Every structure is written in structure tokens, then in C-alpha cells.
A = this chain, B = another copy of it.
């Protein structure tokens, strides 16, 4: 979960798939794993360039699917046009996303019941669940009551 060992996971994943370990891929990886908040592809490009300024937008977009498929990154689509990403420290946990309409923040919260739900729903259709996500849009109670949002920066 520390950066070195996750990076090692990434190297192994690349080797295993017959993919090459390049300085750009490593820079993108390091940039992503230095983040604690959600980020977009464009932001990741900025971060990665501050490590290795030869990184291009195309390579970021080509590397993102590699990282999401290896479960190193979690992809979050809140239907706003652009996708968000997040280092995946615990790949097996079921997580729900709560998007605050007031401050546009994305909160993630463990939702262990979701797995059962997905299985139940799928089996009624003769399907086996691969992944599931619960996405909630919500408003800030504090903002409603006091007129200001404590979560807002």
C-alpha cells in the first residue's frame, strides 16, 4: 500500500502482460499514487508532467486503462462528461460514491451490502455480477441549515 510496493505491483503487472516498463508509465503511476483525492485524466497529465515532462496526453489516456484493468486505479463516472480516478488501496472492498450536488465533491464510503444486492439482482436475470456500484446524489445538510458547507474548501 506504500508507494514502493504498489509500484512493484505495477512493474509485475506490466511484465506479466508482456508490456514494457517505460519512464512515462512509471511517472504516470507515481503521479496517480501521490494523490489522495479524485483526479481527472487532464489533472493526471499535469501531475505526471511535473515528474517527467515528456509525458503526453495520449500516453496518459493509453495508460489509464492499463491501470484500471490491473485494479490499481478505480474509475468513477458520475455522468458529468469526464471520468475521475482514484488509487485503489483496497481493491476488494465494495464502495459507494456519494456526489454532493452542492459542493461537487465525491465521497466514497464502504457499502458491503452492495455485493449481496448485485448478486441477487443479477441472478434473477441469469447473470453473474462482475462489478457493481451504488451512486448517490445528495445535498449538504449543513449548507441547507446554516447556509455554508463545512466540506467546501
A interface with B by C-beta (< 8 Å) = 77, 79, 83, 96, 98, 100-101, 107, 109, 111, 113-114, 117-118, 121-122, 124-142, 144
A26 to B120, CA, bound (A): 39
Give A84 Cβ to nearest chain B Cβ, in Å: 11
**Are B121 and A131 neighbours in the complex by a CB distance under 8 Å?**
no
Is A109 a contact of B132 with CB atoms below 8 Å?
no
Which residues of B lie under 8 Å from residue A96 when comparing CB positions?
A: 117, 121
A127 with B139, Cβ < 8 A, contacts A98-B121, A98-B122 known:
yes
| Copies of this chain in the oligomer | 2
Known: A113-B117, A125-B109. A136 touches B140 (CB 8 A): no
| Cβ contact within 8 Å between A136 and B132 | yes
Shortest C-beta distance, A142 to chain B (Å), equals: 6
A-B contact pairs, 9 of them (CB 8 A): A109-B124, A114-B134, A118-B136, A118-B138, A128-B139, A130-B137, A131-B136, A132-B137, A135-B135
A130/B139 contact (C-beta < 8 A), A77-B77, A79-B77 known: yes
Residues from chain B with a CB closer than 8 A to the CB of A140 are 126-127
CB distance from A82 to the nearest CB of B (A): 11
Given contacts A125-B138, A129-B136, 7 further A-B contacts (CB under 8 A): A98-B122, A98-B125, A101-B130, A109-B125, A117-B134, A128-B141, A134-B134
The distance in angstroms between the C-alpha atoms of A40 and B109, with both chains bound, is 31
- When the two chains form their complex, are residues A127 and B141 in contact, meaning their CB atoms are under 8 A apart? yes
